[in-house]
Amino acid sequence: MTSTILDRPATGHEQAARGGSLTTLGGAAFIAAPLLFAAGAWTSPPQESASDADYIASLAEDPSLTTISATFFHYSWVLYAFGALAALGLVRGRRGRGLTTVGALAGAFGAIQFTGLLLNDWFLAAMGNEISIEQSVEIFHAMGDPGFVSWLMTAKVFGLLGFPVLYAGLARAGVISWWLVVPSLLPMVVFAVVPGVLGIALATGCTAAAFVTGWRLVQRGRLAA
């Protein structure tokens, strides 16, 4: 019986083309991730202060806007996870491989943690409209058990520090420039310190390493294909 096309083993060229396509998609994910995060920040409902009560009130005031913002944030972290794993393919030799591997795995793990935490926005928006803000705050505080706190901490530690380690590994391997590593530590600080559109623009600029890494992946994918 003759083999069908589906049964035929893929040639080296076909395997390279498939790998190139996946690498290109990983690069596109890395480029899109910070843009989606910026969109999430730009559409975040404004709040009068940093208090928990005002935070919940802002989410509850416009549930539709809350949904849009949380969705942008959610898919930003999803794409960051894909991009981090794809970046492992940029290192060809031993130089920088250890740092890149640790950073990629830590960053992807933290990004996955963050995607789950964003479910809070939908819950808090619903609570703020169904019960009083005071009761919503009490429930919000009651969620702070050790399990939830550890979830939050692992998301912050792995998600926010994993990517700078990844970029340091890529810089060590000669894939990106070293000057891109330091700004990658600052986006969340800039978001917290600089308000409004200016803060969003500056924080997005601090993620330049993600854009450069994404473009390197796209270039590598095109060559492989």
Q: Helix/strand/coil (H, E, C) string of 125-166? A: HHHHHHCCHHHHHHHHHHCCCHHHHHHHHHHHHHHHHHHHHH
pLDDT of 193 strictly over 80: yes
pLDDT of 210 strictly over 60: yes
Mean pLDDT of 138-142: 85
Mean pLDDT of 182-204: 91
How many residues does the structure list for the chain? Answer: 225
171 within 8 A of 96, measured Cβ to Cβ: yes
96 within 8 A of 172, measured Cβ to Cβ: yes
Q: Quick check: helix, strand or coil at residue 11? A: coil
How far CA 120 is from CA of 79, 123, 140, 142, 168, in Å, comes to 20, 5, 9, 13, 32
- Provide the token pair at 181: 């590593």
- Answering whether pTM is above 0.95, one says no
69 within 8 A of 45, measured Cβ to Cβ: yes
Instruction: Categorize the per-residue pLDDT at 175 as very low, low, confident or very high, splitting at 50, 70 and 90.
Output: very high
Distance CA 33, CA 74 (A): 10
pLDDT of 3 strictly over 80: no
Question: Which residues are CB-neighbours of 89 under 8 A, at least 6 positions away?
Answer: 23, 26, 217, 220
168 within 8 A of 102, measured Cβ to Cβ: no
